[in-house]
Amino acid sequence: MSLSTALSSALSGLRTTQTQMQVVSGNVANVDTPGYSRRSAQLVETTGNGNVNGVRVAGVQRALDGILQRELRTETSGSGYTGVRATYTDRLQSLFGQPGDASSLPGVMSAFTTALQDLANDPASSTARTAVLSRAATFASTLNSVSNGIQQLRADTETAISADVARANELLKTISSLDQKVGLSQGQDPSLLDQRDAQINELAKLMDLNVTTNANGTVNLSTQGGLRLFDPTGPVTLAFDGRGTMSAGSLYSSGASRGVGTITATTPGGTTVDALAQGLIRSGEIAGLLELRDKTLVDAQSQVDELAAGLASAMGNKINAGAAATAGAATGFDVDTTGIQPGNVMTVNVTVGGVPKTYSFINLATGGTLPANATSNPNDIEVAVDFSNPATAAAAIGTALGSAFTVSNTGSTIRILDDGAAGTSDVSAASASITLTGSLQSGSPEFALFVDGANGQPFTGSFANGSQKTGLAARLIVNPAVKLDPNLLVKYAATTPSGDTTRPALMLDRLTSTKFTLGLSNGSGGTTAYTGTMLDFSSRVVAAQGEIAAGAARLDEGQKVVQSSIESRFSAASGVSIDQELTNLVQIQNAYSANARIMSAVKEMMDLLMRI
């Protein structure tokens, strides 16, 4: 090896140390840049004729653990999902007020109860009457505002989805252009890769991603559900047809009657896919928002609707319990269905072959179709019956109950009998809950204290134009006729003395001691039957929202821990450490000095040689 080779070798050493220096300074400079992964210069020896004649920088590489990166993206999607759920469910629970606050839903309910207690104590007192009306109005307006708040939250999710979809499109475009460059550089440019990956990570927060890397460093993106987002032919264009306003009736459906927006993806080739119809987005912020909009908040709305409907019916429905009836050995009940309104329900409890069953015969006199789970009781068998002709109604009931029962009618009174001596069937109870729609002084203590604000009429639960219950919480108002004439709170007949407690006591009892079966959301899309007083039910509605919020917050907290830990591990592998860089710096300085020393040694030797 000649001195000139040594010189050129030292020179290459100086050149590489300069490059290394550049990498270190780049690392140090980017110490606070998120998404920047630590770079290192890859050195290779250069050889000539079997001898080492120098060093060169083969390339600058970034430190990256592919597995950790994939995990990081999965958890990022999860965090996007839990984060948005925690935020919205917290806002949802706050709609019901603060615990112990008089303006909270339980507080308002308590105040209404207290006012009714006062009225039942002194029905003639105009103060007590005014108080009941005012507390009832507060209760109704609280339900209205909770319901409006829920729909506002749904509208917010709609807006947020729209923004997220727009952001996803931007990200996809950026990813596309960066990915092309990555392809051109054959995946050798760490800064292009870093930038592209940072965009992909941000996209992962919005939706779950499945990333596959091609040989030239480019990637293909799709969701876990199989929605293709990006491949070398280009990104899909996502679109969201959000709705500006939202009501309880605005629901998702795959048909044309859709009341909320859906996300569509159009490929560069022009094919369009409905991502929601096929459930292609399963995690990330968008999935969280969709679940809130179409499930959690819809459930919350149906809970307050159930409360509103339950209360309106509790005050306004006369419950005709069946009178025991016998015919020979057969026993059963006579149920008076006079005045049964569209949507009113006749309930029949039977036992067939030892199995108890509850039948709900729902009056569909004015048409309409019965949705699944039309009544508050999720465990009943629901049958649509047109009660406008009692004879046909009795026949229809007979058909539904089967041959073990005999159903007949005398006028509007429907008789249901078991099979008598055979003893295989039994009728254990039968009743009809009938909304009183006529005069408020009909002589019945029940009366429509609350009415449906849409038409000012008592709530019957009709299905003529969709379910009347849907969105009732937003429409519930105190009957204007009662507001005009507070005497109606007491005088259930024209001649009722003003100190008569019958009607106030009925209102109070229907609120605090009569048990009703109502549907209670279990927070995960299902409904369970809750049997209890209206007052207890209202507590449960609020508690359920509290539990959902607490659950979402716990989940989010846990997800944050996971996310942080994976970020820490990922950073340990890929992040810059000043200490490490400075250690490298010392090493590079030494190498530089050594190379320089060799050069000066070669020079000295050369000089010596020249002097000869």
Partner 1 sequence: MTVSPIFLGSYSVESLRARTNATQFTDLKSTMTDLQRQLATGKLADDWAGMGTERVTSLDMNARVSILDGYASNITDAQTRLKLMDTSLAQLDKNRSAAIGELSLDSYQLRSGGTTQGQILLTGRFNEMIDLLNQDVAGRYVFSGRATDTKPVASADVILNGSGSQIGLKTAMANQRTTDLGSGLGGLAVGVSGNVVSITKPGAGGMTVSGTSSFDFTTQPTEGQTFTVKVTLPDGTSQDVTLAASSNPGAGTSTGAAFQIGATSAQTATNFGAAITTALTNVANTSLWAASGVKAAQDFFNGNIANSVQWYLGDNSATPRQTALVRASDGAPIASGAQANEAPFRNLLASYAVMAADSFPSSNANSPARYDAVKSRLQTNLAETPGARVADVQTELALASVDINTAKERNAATKSVLQDHISAIEDASPEQIAAQLLSLQTSLQASYQTASMVSKLSLVNYLS
Q: Interface residues for partner 1 in 497-516 (CB under 8 A)?
A: 497-501, 505, 508, 512-513
For partner 1, the closer CB: 80 or 261? 80
Alpha-carbon distance 449 to 342, whole Å? 19
CA atoms within 13 A on the CB side of 481: 15
Minimum Å gap between C-beta 429 and partner 1 is 24
The residue within the footprint of partner 1, chosen from 246, 432, 576, 602 (CB under 8 A), is: 576
Which one of the spans 275-283, 387-395, 426-434, 582-590 is the region binding partner 1 (CB under 8 A)? 582-590
Q: d(Cα 97, Cα 437) in Å, to the nearest integer? A: 34
Q: Which span (137-145, 331-339, 544-552, 591-599) binds partner 1, by CB under 8 A?
A: 544-552
List, in sequence order, every residue forming a beta bridge with 125; answer none if it has no partner. none
DSSP structure class, residue 341: P
Q: Does 550 bind partner 1 (CB under 8 A)?
A: yes
Distance of CA 355 to the CA centre of its chain: 37
**Counting contacts by CB under 8 A, is residue 74 touching partner 1?**
no
Nearer to partner 1, 395 or 550 (CB): 550
Residues 83-112 binding partner 1 (CB under 8 A) are 89-90, 93-94, 96, 98-100, 106, 109-110
The nearest distance, CB 111 to partner 1, in angstroms, is 8
Give 360's DSSP letter: E
Quick check: 170 binds partner 1 (CB under 8 A)?
no
Closest by alpha carbon to 35, among 607, 545, 571? 571
* Binding of partner 1 by 72 (CB under 8 A): yes
Residue 224, Cβ density class (10 Å: 0-12 exposed, 13-18 middle, ≥19 buried)? middle
Q: Tell me which residues in 110-129 interact with partner 1 (CB under 8 A).
A: 110, 113-114, 117-118, 120-125
User: Does residue 140 sit in helix, strand or coil?
Assistant: helix
Residue 425 near partner 1 by CB under 8 A: no
**At closest approach, how far in Å is the CB of 546 from partner 1?**
3
Q: Of residues 58, 578, 605, 606, which one binds partner 1 by CB under 8 A?
A: 578
Q: How many residues bind partner 1 (CB under 8 A)?
A: 84
What stretch of H or E contains 117?
helix 105-121
What is the per-residue DSSP string for 283-321? Answer: SHHHHHHHHIIIIIHHHHHHHHHHHHHHHHHHHHEEEEE
Secondary structure of residue 444 in the 3-state scheme: coil
Q: Which C-beta is closer to partner 1: that of 100 or that of 244?
A: 100
Least separation in angstroms between CB 236 and partner 1: 22
Is 464 or 505 the residue whose CB approaches partner 1 more closely? Answer: 505
Smallest distance from partner 1 to CB 571, Å: 5
Contact between 130 and partner 1 by CB under 8 A: the answer reads no
Q: Which of 6, 540, 592, 596 binds partner 1 (CB under 8 A)?
A: 540
d(CA 270, CA 293): 29
- Please count the other Cβ atoms lying within 10 Å of the Cβ belonging to residue 611: 6
437-to-450, 588, 602 alpha-carbon distances in Å:
12, 93, 112
- Contact region with partner 1 (CB under 8 A), list: 260-268, 307-315, 325-333, 558-566: 558-566
Residues pairing with 327 in the sheet? 330
Report 264-283 residues binding partner 1 (CB under 8 A): none
Q: How far is the CB of 580 from partner 1 (least distance, A)?
A: 8
In the complex with partner 1, the residue whose CB is nearer, 122 or 485, is 122
Residue 572 touches partner 1, criterion: CB under 8 A? yes
Question: Could you say which residues in the range 181-210 bind partner 1, by CB under 8 A?
Answer: 194, 197-198, 201-202, 204-205
Q: What is the three-class DSSP state of 328?
A: coil
| Cβ proximity to partner 1, 288 vs 461, nearer residue | 288
Kindly tell me which of 543 and 599 has the beta carbon lying closer to partner 1: 543
45 C-beta neighbours (distance < 10 Å), count = 11
Least Å distance between CB 498 and partner 1?
A: 5
Among 9, 37, 157, 303, binds partner 1 (CB under 8 A): 37
Give the Cα separation of 360 and 451 in Å (integer).
23
Element (H, E) at 49: none
> DSSP string spanning 541-586?
HHHHHHHHHHHHHHHHHHHHHHHHHHHHHHHHHHS--HHHHHHHHH
DSSP 3-state assignment of 56?
A: strand
